[in-house]
């Protein structure tokens, strides 16, 4: 028998009743499934909905040497504030993880750093979960000797290879100084140019005549990205003084 046969309702009430009935039908589908099959595994559903899950790929966005870096760890499934800490390994020197999940600082060394973070809800230490991450710190500008500084008669000369690994073209100033014991440095190389961000190495020669004496050669590369207010700097020097024994 249709129990609603003689029921008179307004159009608004009928709409509400229809939505309620639709809700009951939807909720009752798993109960009425044949053989007790619900179309989904309740155990799987509860496991996917319960507990904390830390967001993010294991490989974090790359950082650059001595450049500000921030990454905020987050997780889903929490109803209370979260607390974060490093469980094992360590982030790059110069960076720290705050209790609120903010990893920040200026990396002091380049390389690949692997570490594991954990988080738990306030008042629920048993809710703690962990996840491993990898952070690569790149040197935006890299310098290496192409032809190490050496004495050639009354000259000190050589060449350096510079590479721009940053995502931007940089305005590069390249300076080479020969420094005698009295500290009165002499410039033996200077170039100002745009170094593309394609990562292709560029060889920069230097050299000049010098008076008799010993000189430590200092090489400086300073790259600027004016639009982002960024400055990169790399430097190196000869391990010992080079002796010029022939006068100019």
> For residue 247, what pLDDT is reported?
64
HEC string of 142-194 equals EEEEEEEEEEECCEEEEEEEEEECCCCCEEEEEEEEEECCCCCCEEEEEEEEE
> For residue 50, what pLDDT is reported?
61
Distance CA 244, CA 246 (A): 6
Whether 185 contacts 220, CB under 8 Å: no
> For residue 190, what pLDDT is reported?
97
> For residue 174, what pLDDT is reported?
97
Distance CA 130, CA 52 (A): 9
pLDDT tens digit at each of 248 positions of the chain: 444 444 443 444 344 334 433 443 333 333 323 333 333 333 333 333 468 999 999 999 999 888 889 999 999 998 999 999 999 999 999 999 999 999 999 999 989 999 999 999 998 888 899 999 999 998 888 899 999 999 999 999 999 999 998 889 999 999 999 999 999 999 999 999 999 987 789 999 999 999 999 999 999 999 999 998 888 889 999 999 999 998 65
> For residue 157, what pLDDT is reported?
98
Starting at the edge strand that comes first in sequence, how are the strands of the sheet with 63-64 ordered?
63-64, 124-138, 111-121, 82-89
Q: Which domains does the chain have, with CATH numbers?
A: 11-48 (no CATH), 51-138 (2.60.40.10), 141-244 (2.60.40.3880)
- The DSSP secondary structure of 103-155, one letter per residue, reads EEE--SS-EEEEEEEEEEETTEEEEEEEEEEEEEEE-SEEEEEEEEEEEETTE
Identify any residues that bridge with 75 across adjacent strands, giving them in sequence order: 54
The owner of tokens 């129990």 is 3
Distance CA 101, CA 74 (A): 7
């Amino acid at each position: 028998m249709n129990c609603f046969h003689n029921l008179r309702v307004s159009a608004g009430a009928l709409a509400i009743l229809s939505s309620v009935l639709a809700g009951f039908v939807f909720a009752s589908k798993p109960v009425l499934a044949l053989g007790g099959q619900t179309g989904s595994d309740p155990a799987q559903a509860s496991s996917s909905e319960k507990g904390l899950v830390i967001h993010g790929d294991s490989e974090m966005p790359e950082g650059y040497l001595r450049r500000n870096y921030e990454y905020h760890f987050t997780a889903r499934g929490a109803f209370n504030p979260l607390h974060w800490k490093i469980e094992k390994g360590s982030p790059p020197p110069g960076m720290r993880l705050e209790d609120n999940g903010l990893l920040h600082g200026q990396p002091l060394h380049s390389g690949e750093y692997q570490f594991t973070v954990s988080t738990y809800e306030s008042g629920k230490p048993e809710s703690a979960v962990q996840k491993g991450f990898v952070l690569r710190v790149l040197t935006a500008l890299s310098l290496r000797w192409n032809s190490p500084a050496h004495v050639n008669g009354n000259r000190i000369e050589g060449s350096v290879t510079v590479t721009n690994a940053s995502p931007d073209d940089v305005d590069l100033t390249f300076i080479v100084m020969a420094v005698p014991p009295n500290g009165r440095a002499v410039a033996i190389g200077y170039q100002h140019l745009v170094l593309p961000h394609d990562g292709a190495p560029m060889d920069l020669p230097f050299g000049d005549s010098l008076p008799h004496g010993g000189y430590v050669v200092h090489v400086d590369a300073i790259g600027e990205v004016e639009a982002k207010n960024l400055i990169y700097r790399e430097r190196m020097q000869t391990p010992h003084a080079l002796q010029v024994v022939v006068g100019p």
